[in-house]
Chain A
Amino acid sequence: MSLRSKQWLYVMLCISFLAMSFGVYTSTENVDRGFSVMNEDVRAGKRLFQDYNCVSCHQIFGLGGYMGPDLTNCISSEGGPKRAEMWMRNGFGAMPNFELSDQEITELMAFLAYIDKSGTSPPKEYEINSTGTLDIKHYQDDE
């Protein structure tokens, strides 16, 4: 392979990367799911989620730590909001008591409620195609 061919291939790959990145950044599919509950509490809750490094132990959409459960749909699960608040307020077992204020708990709960509306994890309804790909039903029809 000549130097010119290598340079050409390299530049083409870089341009393709930029084009693909632009496509990812501007993709609109499902990005506004859960925006109906979006407010300043959600944004503050997200900052707290990072400030307390909750992802060390918990997952969102299966991405994160393994010490605690996946939190994507913890609010809509049985006894969800009460249970989530109890754990945040008191800690238990491996979950430390972070001595969160009422305001912090409200904000974290708002963030979790937003996450809950944004999709499903782990998947409950799905279809496996013959090509090995997967169609996951993340939302009910009325959402």
Chain B
Amino acid sequence: MNKDTGINFLIVGIGALLAGMFYGCFGALQHVYPELNAYFSFQKTRPLHVSLVISWLYLGAIGGIYYYLPNKCGVPLYSQLLAKLHLWIFTITGFVIIGAYFMGIFGGREYWAFPPILAIPIVLSWIMFGYNYVRTIFAVKTPWPVYYWMWGTGILFFLLTFLESYLWMIPYFGDSIVRDMTVQWKSYGSIVGSWNMLIYGTAIFLMEKASEKSGIVELEEAAPAVGHSKIAFLLFFLGFLNLLFGWAHHLYLLPSAGWIRHMGYLISMTELLIIAKLIWQFRANFIAGKNRFHIMPFRFLMAADIWIFINLALALLISVPAIQLYTHGTHITVAHAMGSTIGINTMILLASLFYIVGEREKVPNKGAVANGFWIANISFFIFFVCLTIAGIMKGFGVIEKQQTFHEVKETISPFIQLFAYSGLVMFIGFCMILIPAARTLMSSREPELAEEASAKLEPAQ
């Protein structure tokens, strides 16, 4: 156990990601070899994969917040005890959920397939987190940088929308499938917005802090303003708008009220446009100054940058209802989800992880981590393209040719095979990245002096 609760969150998060990816690979193989279902049914594999990787997103973001506030922002946590309790309740509940899945005990919904009673400790620990965060932040007397707003908003709205996702337990909501699914996907859309708030806040924090030690005079001078800039607050409010109202694109094909279905058409993807602009500008500044691609956190931020553009193009297309007619319920939706969670969210969280790792140990720009970076990204590109092609074929097969499920399955089979195998390679790439990082964090090494850490950011000769 590390003394720092933030680091412990990150270690648990890495474990969740590795386990989640393992079940993701197994699940993909089950699509190729359905006979594997006889050994371990997909009914268990999918929730294991989904819950574990979503846990990684939260654990990775929360770990960063608990670490950065006292160590990098100079704001001591209001209560270390509450932070530790949060970690323990989250971790124990996580293990109970995994045990329930293994035993085939469900009762929940997509994303949260576990028995609803297990939502109670999650809510309680989240309230502790929120209380601790608010008490910590309200001790700051200077104007807050935008990432304080973003983290706070992510915390508040996860709590509200997580509770909203359990409204189905009240018969008024649960008895009507149309109302039930509308509210379910309304809450899920906002839950995704809440974790985006936590993660994008971390991205802006990293850009600010990394600029401080960049060695580029212009960037270092501009660094304190990054978190207070107009563009950063514009991004925040647009992101917030998306969190609140940008979920309707899940519901275009449901028979819910017209105003609900059309509301998200214009709103839904503005958030990505702005963050792309922000990171692109940051990257351009860096290239203009000096190439910093060899520094691992920047490398992951640049990968996130490229994935934002790829995902943005896809997201804008599928947010048009006429196009979504062909893409809804196809593998393009999976490509969009994977593009966001792996390409954008995970790359930002890995940048955060390696920023913290880099304070303890030099991360060489060659070797396992660097190779893992390329293996993960190239295989992920193949994975993403396969899903997109399979989705297009399924969409046209179902809508234009009225193909049956089995006809579609046969047609897209080669792409599903390639998707599964590229997923396996991606898993190997992520192991190469994550295992050394976990090893460093689990060792008892303390962060080195700022000067030494800064020196490590210098390019290898």
Interface residues of A (CB under 8 A from B): 1, 3, 6, 9-10, 13-14, 16-17, 20-21, 23-25, 27, 29-35, 38, 43, 46-47, 50-57, 59-70, 93-96, 114-115, 118-123, 126, 128-129, 132-134, 136, 138-139
**A-B residue pairs in contact (CB < 8 Å), sample of 20:** A1-B230, A13-B241, A16-B245, A27-B179, A30-B255, A31-B178, A51-B107, A52-B106, A53-B43, A56-B43, A56-B47, A57-B43, A65-B46, A67-B42, A69-B405, A70-B329, A126-B325, A132-B265, A134-B253, A134-B322
Whether B15 sits at the interface, judged by CB under 8 Å, is: no
Chain B nearest CB from A107 CB (Å) reads 15
Interface residues of B (CB under 8 A from A): 30-31, 34, 37-38, 41-47, 106-110, 113, 143, 149, 164, 167, 173-179, 181-183, 185-186, 230, 233, 237, 240-241, 244-245, 250, 252-260, 262-263, 265, 320-325, 328-329, 331, 334, 398-399, 404-405
Chain B residues whose C-beta falls within 8 Å of the C-beta of A16 in the assembled complex: 244-245
Chain A nearest CB from B150 CB (Å) reads 12
Q: Is A29 within 8 A of B258, CB to CB?
A: yes
Residue from the set B106, B178, B334 with the largest chain A CB neighbour count within 10 Å: B178
Q: Return the chain B residue nearest A5 by Cβ.
A: B233
Q: Is A62 within 8 A of B244, CB to CB?
A: no
Taking a contact as CB atoms closer than 8 A, the residue among B30, B149, B174, B245 that contacts A17 in the complex is B245
Q: Return the chain B residue nearest A34 by Cβ.
A: B177
> Total number of A-B contacts with CB less than 8 angstroms?
167
Chain B nearest CB from A77 CB (Å) reads 9
Chain A residues whose C-beta falls within 8 Å of the C-beta of B237 in the assembled complex: 9, 13
Chain B nearest CB from A138 CB (Å) reads 4
- Describe B's contact surface by its main secondary structure: helix
Q: Is A119 within 8 A of B143, CB to CB?
A: no
Asked whether A31 and B179 contact (CB < 8 A) given A57-B43, A65-B46, A132-B322, the answer is: yes
- Other than A96-B38, A118-B178, A134-B325, give 18 A-B pairs with Cβ distance below 8 A: A13-B240, A13-B244, A16-B245, A21-B186, A24-B186, A25-B173, A31-B176, A43-B174, A51-B107, A53-B44, A56-B46, A57-B42, A65-B46, A96-B43, A118-B176, A121-B329, A122-B328, A136-B253
Chain A residues whose C-beta falls within 8 Å of the C-beta of B179 in the assembled complex: 25, 27, 31
CA distance A122 to B400 in the complex (A): 11
Chain A residues whose C-beta falls within 8 Å of the C-beta of B257 in the assembled complex: 27, 29-30
Chain B residues whose C-beta falls within 8 Å of the C-beta of A114 in the assembled complex: 177
Chain B residues whose C-beta falls within 8 Å of the C-beta of A60 in the assembled complex: 177, 181
Q: Is B174 within 8 A of A46, CB to CB?
A: yes
